[in-house]
Amino acid sequence: MTVLRPATLAAALAARSEHPGALLVAGGTDAMVAINSGRLRAEVTVDLTGVGELASWSRSGSTIRIGSGLTYTRLIAELGDLCPGLAMASRTVGSPQIRNRGTVGGNVATASPAGDALPPLVAAGAVIELASTDGVRRVPIGAFLVGPKRSLLAPNELITAIELPVARGPQQFSKVGPRNAMVIAVCSLAVDVDVASRRVAVAIGSAGPTTLRALEAEAVASAAIDWTTGALGDADLARFAALVAQAARPIDDVRGTAAYRRHALAVLARRSLGWSLEALRRAVA
């Protein structure tokens, strides 16, 4: 194995172009485990930790641009107010040591259905910025994630940034795992309440081939919420929860059964939207 350690984005793109399919390592928290176990063998590895341009974030108007190399630890500390849902999800990733190194870009690139950062990004309608020596393109995350560990990332491309709007209302992230820390999600759920456009978005993790939106549930909730008071009837909330569960496409695996995942998603959906609307009602009052 050869390791390339570019110090600039241009050098990283050049390396990627010269060695298409090379293993990209940012935090290395997923990749190294695979290398140790022999599941992954790479001729060429590109270490992205030296590329400072990737490890920052910026705000432009109502849009946040998160560099793909921003660690969870920094995201939690610096973006808790602007992107609360994403920050909540980041807090549930691995251990503090993993969060010190793990990056949002890595989570998107790995494209695991269980990726903790993905539901809030999908709910917020994030856009993935991809770069290569040929140029830059922007892809909505919903389109970028195509299946379990499969994405539109081309062999010569890097994820350079993730763009998402500043929260336009309450956000929630909840996750069920088998114990209290260091868990891979059995299922997870992000709720994004956009007060300005009177729209609720919901995304589901670990309950389908990739992160899923629950569009019907979103439509029902968006229509049923009294946006001036934040009120939502119990029956509508229950319907919303049931529709979220319906939108899931879970399987039975080592972490849980499909039936349990549907059940738990309904519970998480009801609670998450309930908490979000409670926050909204407090804000209104």
Of 56, 100, 110, 222, the one binding other proteins by CB under 8 A: 100
User: In this chain, which stretch among 123-131, 163-171, 174-182, 195-203 interacts with other proteins, using CB under 8 A?
Assistant: 174-182
Radius of gyration of the chain (CA): 19
Of 167 and 269, which has the nearer Cβ to other proteins?
269
- Is there binding between residue 264 and other proteins (CB under 8 A)? yes
Which region holds residue 126: left if phi is over 0, alpha if psi is between -120 and 50, else beta? beta
Q: Which is nearer to other proteins, 1 or 235 (CB)?
A: 1
What burial class does residue 37 get, using C-beta atoms within 10 Å of its C-beta: 0-12 exposed, 13-18 middle, 19+ buried? exposed
Percent of the chain as helix, strand, coil, to the nearest 5: 40, 25, 35
Are 115 and 30 contacting, i.e. CB atoms less than 8 angstroms apart? no
Closest distance between other proteins and the C-beta of residue 273, in Å? 14
Coil, strand or helix: which one is 231? strand
Q: Does 179 bind other proteins (CB under 8 A)?
A: yes
Residues 6+ apart with CB under 8 A from 25: 31, 32, 45, 46, 47, 48, 49
Q: Does the protein bind other proteins through residue 259 (CB under 8 A)?
A: yes
By beta-carbon proximity to other proteins, the closer residue of 71 and 132 is 71
Residues of this chain that interact with other proteins (CB under 8 A) are: 1-3, 5, 25, 28-29, 32-33, 35-38, 42, 45, 47, 49, 94-98, 100-101, 176, 178-184, 186, 253-257, 259-260, 263-264, 267-268, 271
